[in-house]
Each structure stands twice: as C-alpha cells, then as structure tokens.
Chain A
C-alpha cells in the first residue's frame, strides 16, 4: 500500500490538485474563485504530463558531449506539449477575466447566487 503512494507521489499530487480544482469549480459560489479553481485543474494536468517525462537520474534533454544513451535524458516531448497547454490555459483565463469584468460592470457583484437572483427579476 505504502509503495503505491510513495512510488507515485507526483501522480498522487496531480490527482489531489485535480480534485481540489473540480471541487472549487463546482462548489464555490464566487465566480473568481471558480476561475482560480479552473487554473488549479489545469495545473494538475500539466503536472501529470511533466511527471510522465521524469526518469530517475536523467538530465535535462540538452545533448551532453559523449552521452548518447537515450535513458540519460528526460523525455522532452511532454514539456513541449505542456508549453502549448500553458498557452491555452493563459488564453482561457484571459477570456474568462474579460467575461467577468463585463459581468461585474453590469451586476456589481461576482457572487453567483446574487447574479442569478438579479437575472430572475
């Protein structure tokens, strides 16, 4: 049981972050907190990919003279993928913030129950 936790600690961390993010997005009444939870969710996915690339004792994927063993370098592909995912995350956050500014200008609040209450009127 303990090996399952300690051997895969980084994956467990990603899973915990994922659940925190999901909980925040579904459970928080404040829209900005929902957005922050969304960022936590995205970070969880990013950490998961980065953890996939890790190898024990391997170095950064920049060629060292005389070191031709593939196993000596970490896998660079997940890092490259996650650069794209980070860009996607930043863009999504930007769009979401723009929406929130518009909502705040109109309602003067970012608490979801209050907004729903006013929309019903």
Chain B
C-alpha cells in the first residue's frame, strides 16, 4: 500500500474528475460528496506519504513498472510531500467553501465545476510529485487548461482576462518546453535525478545557458514574478470567489516550487543557474516593492490582494536567490504560509462580495459589525501577511531576514522591511473602513449578514492554521522544511 501512495495522490482526484460529471447527472446530490471524498482521500494519502518519507526516506514510484530513466517516476521527498499536503489542505477547504451548488445552481453546472476543480488539483499535484521534466510540462498544461476554464466562468470580464492569461500562459509553457528540449539534447535524459548527474559535465556548453534562461523565464511567467505578472490581477479579480481563493493560494506557488526544483535539484550549483539566481534576486527585490506599492494604489480589494500576491512572490523568489539555509527555509515557509493566508483572505473577500455585493474598500464601512467572524478572520490573516508574531507570516519573514543578514545583502534587508511597512499601510486602510468608519447616516444599521456555515468553516480553519502553524513553526521547520532543502544544505 505504502509503495503505491505516490501515484494514488494523483490518480484519486483524476478518477473523481472523470466520475463527477456523470454522477452529477444521475445523482445530483452525490457529486459534491464524491469531490469532497476524493480530495480528502488524496489529502490523507499525501500526509501518509509525507510521514512515511520523513521516517524512512524518499519514496519512488515507477509508473507502469518502467524503471527510470526510461520510464516516468514519481518522487515523494519531504519537499514534494509537503507541497502535496499543502495543496490538498487548501483544495479541501475550497471545495467545501464552494459548496454543493457551486457555480450557479444546476446540478450539471456544479458537476462541471467540481470536475474542472479536481482536474486542476490533479495537475498541480502531478507537477509537485513528478520526477520527469517532460511530465512536469504535461501536468503544467493540465492544470493551466483547467484553470482557464474555471477562471473564465466568472462573467465576460473574466473571460477576456482569461484569454489574455491563456496567451501568456502558453508562451510560458512553450518556453519551458523548449528549455526542456535543450536539456534533453544536452543529456539525453528527461529524468530529473539522472539529468542532474549528467549536467555537471556540460555546464560550460552555451546550449546549457540557453536551456536555463528558457526554463526560468517560462516558470517565472507562470509564477507571476514581477515584471512578468501582467496576466495576474485581471484574472484574479474577475474569477468566481472559490476559484480565485484556490488559484491565488497555490497555483503560482506550485510554479515557484518548480523553479526551486529545477534550480536547486536539477541544474548544477555553479554556472548558468547561479547567474540566473543572482538576476532573480534583483528582479524579486523590485517585485517586492512594486507589488506592495501597486497594492496601495488599488480601490478594489480583490485587485489589492492580487498585487499583494505579486509582492509576496518576490519574497519567495528572493529567498531562493539568497540561497543560504535560513533564506531557503524562509522562502519555503513563506510559500506555505502565504498559500494559507492569501487563500483565507480571498475566501473572505469573495464571501463578502457574494453576500453583500461589496468589493470596493471604501464600501467596507461598518463591515466589522455586519460580518464580525468573517472580518475577524480577515484581520488575523492580514496581520499574518504584515508579519506580526505569533502568526506564520512573522516567522517566514524572520527566517528570510536572517538569511539576508547572513548573506550580508543589506539592500535585500531594506526591501523586506520597507515592503512590510507598506503592507501595514494597505491592510490598515481596510481595517479603518471596516471597524472605525460607520456607514453613511440614513440607512440605519445594516443587519448582521454572517456567511453560511459551509463558507465560514473553511475560512476559520485556514485562520486557525495561520495561528497554529505559527506557534508550531519550530516543528514545521525542524520536522519538514529542513529535510526539504537540497542535499548540500540539508543537516
């Protein structure tokens, strides 16, 4: 059983994605249950695989019995296992939040929503677990195609934004594919571990530099790293709430994971990948600041959160670029933390819009009274984004800062601190409207409009996760993340 865990994590949601639309036609009420069960089962499988890996070492699965490097293999190491657990955690929260009547009512439509959502999760889990460069491309496109369909389901502005994302996303995937082609031409293999062993001999080849550049640009577009983030704000703003909640939380993170996997586990440490990381460091400093400044300028709260995501992606890549153990721990912890926090924030904002139709920050006046629990969750997650102890956001920024100090990169230190201060500005603007301003006179006090339980519960679970994992950060870092670092840096 344990031997089959890696493939089960991917196959369970995939099989459910095929089954759900059919089930939805025959038994409309069962479809939602099937989707929930499949995701929960994938979550259990991820956690079981992760705990097995932490106790007994890396788990490898040969697909179809073909031994690597000829066949495709799935690899669960602490890094991919942890990512798998994170993706399934958010996925379960979001599918419950979306509820049985997701996407506007009818059984067939909600069946399609759940099917696409499961496909998206399948793609993301596949990217994380695969040990094969080309297989990663295929999963990248599976997740992207499902994401296009989901993002486009939110009205005509969403459709136009999605078409642009589709064009940009295809450029990104094609760049990644060409990069893989160059790497294949150099090494004659597609298996990541095999490729890593063979690449050391060809570090000086000019084609190797081209391969790294193409791969990094492709994945950086997918991760929405400034200045390649153009597709992100519109796509996030006009999509349905559960979709934005999930995609904003994990999709760009998975691309960041792929970037980390390629630059630290496949390509040799010296040569082109070191230069790429140095360049990424400078770019991400700009991303951190630009994302925060653009977020301050927004009136639409969804757009504010989207630009804040651009800035936070800068933090993660900055940690990768610094490359010291503390910085990498900070980057991975922030990758995890930001997924939970931003997922929570987008679910709150989407819920408020669903309930009251409000999405402008200036209309949030009195929201603290109208939806006390929902806004409380927003406050906790926002404080975590700013980086207040004892939330998860504080500890990830702490590790990043100490990593930057360790590397004596003072400009990076300054950028991190400054961007946190800007975060205070744009989140406190929301707090001010929600709690201190009262709605205009003459309308009376608006009634309490708390969200229904199935929407509120996932929000509160994610809020609790922000606090609990913050308090348990020592265990998370020592137990999982330290073991997820690449070989040379691991303890």
Knowing A91-B145, A99-B148, the reply to whether A115 touches B160 (Cβ < 8 A) is: yes
Binds A, one of B161-169, B259-267, B385-393: B161-169
Beta-carbon contact of A99 and B159 below 8 Å: yes
User: Contact check: which of A31, A45, A49, A119 meets B163 at CB < 8 Å?
Assistant: A31
Beta-carbon contact of A34 and B167 below 8 Å: yes
Interface of B is mostly: helix
Q: Give the chain B neighbours of A44 by CB distance below 8 A.
A: 174
Instruction: Please provide the chain B residues from 127 to 182 with a CB less than 8 Å away from any CB of chain A in the complex.
Output: 134, 137-138, 141, 145, 148-149, 152, 156-157, 159-160, 162-163, 166-167, 170-171, 173-174, 177-178, 181
- Tell me the complex Cα distance, A47–B159, Å: 31
User: Contact check: which of A48, A81, A119 meets B157 at CB < 8 Å?
Assistant: A119
Tell me how far the C-beta of B425 lies from the nearest C-beta in chain A, rounded to whole angstroms.
28
User: Considering only CB atoms, which chain B residue lies closest to A52 in the complex?
Assistant: B185
Q: Give the chain B neighbours of A119 by CB distance below 8 A.
A: 157, 160
**Is B282 an interface position by the 8 A CB rule?**
no
- Tell me the complex Cα distance, A88–B163, Å: 16
B-side interface residues, number (CB < 8 Å): 25
User: Contact check: which of A45, A91, A99 meets B181 at CB < 8 Å?
Assistant: A45
Beta-carbon contact of A52 and B149 below 8 Å: no
User: Considering only CB atoms, which chain A residue lies closest to B142 in the complex?
Assistant: A88
Beta-carbon contact of A102 and B134 below 8 Å: no
Q: Give the chain B neighbours of A100 by CB distance below 8 A.
A: 163
Beta-carbon contact of A48 and B181 below 8 Å: yes
- Tell me the complex Cα distance, A39–B141, Å: 15
User: Contact check: which of A25, A42, A45, A103 meets B160 at CB < 8 Å?
Assistant: A103
Q: Give the chain A neighbours of B185 by CB distance below 8 A.
A: 52
A75-105 CB mask vs B (1 if < 8 Å, else 0) is 0001001001100100110011001101100
Beta-carbon contact of A85 and B145 below 8 Å: no
Beta-carbon contact of B152 and A99 below 8 Å: yes
Beta-carbon contact of B184 and A45 below 8 Å: no
Tell me how far the C-beta of A14 lies from the nearest C-beta in chain B, rounded to whole angstroms.
9
Knowing A31-B163, A84-B138, the reply to whether A52 touches B181 (Cβ < 8 A) is: yes
**Is A20 an interface position by the 8 A CB rule?**
no
**Is A74 an interface position by the 8 A CB rule?**
no
- Tell me the complex Cα distance, A37–B222, Å: 20
- Tell me the complex Cα distance, A13–B160, Å: 32
Beta-carbon contact of B174 and A41 below 8 Å: yes
A38-56 CB mask vs B (1 if < 8 Å, else 0) is 1001101100110010000
B177-212 CB mask vs A (1 if < 8 Å, else 0) is 110010011000000000000000000000000000
Knowing A22-B171, A41-B170, A91-B145, the reply to whether A103 touches B177 (Cβ < 8 A) is: no
**Is A65 an interface position by the 8 A CB rule?**
no
- Tell me the complex Cα distance, A34–B184, Å: 29
- Tell me the complex Cα distance, A29–B178, Å: 26
- Tell me the complex Cα distance, A119–B157, Å: 8
**Is A106 an interface position by the 8 A CB rule?**
yes
Q: Give the chain B neighbours of A81 by CB distance below 8 A.
A: 134
- Tell me the complex Cα distance, A99–B155, Å: 11
Q: Give the chain A neighbours of B148 by CB distance below 8 A.
A: 95, 99
A-B contact pairs, 7 of them (CB 8 A): A96-B163, A96-B167, A99-B148, A102-B152, A103-B156, A119-B157, A119-B160
A residues in contact (CB < 8 Å) with B: 18, 22, 25, 31, 34-35, 38, 41-42, 44-45, 48-49, 52, 78, 81, 84-85, 88, 91-92, 95-96, 99-100, 102-103, 106-107, 115, 119
Additional A-B contacts beyond A81-B134, A103-B156 (18; CB < 8 A): A22-B171, A25-B171, A42-B174, A44-B174, A49-B181, A52-B181, A88-B173, A92-B141, A92-B170, A95-B148, A96-B167, A99-B148, A99-B152, A99-B166, A100-B163, A102-B159, A106-B159, A107-B156
B residues in contact (CB < 8 Å) with A: 134, 137-138, 141, 145, 148-149, 152, 156-157, 159-160, 162-163, 166-167, 170-171, 173-174, 177-178, 181, 184-185
Considering the complex of A and B, which 9 residue pairs feature the smallest CB-CB distances, nearest first? A88-B141, A106-B156, A99-B163, A45-B174, A45-B177, A102-B159, A38-B170, A95-B148, A52-B185
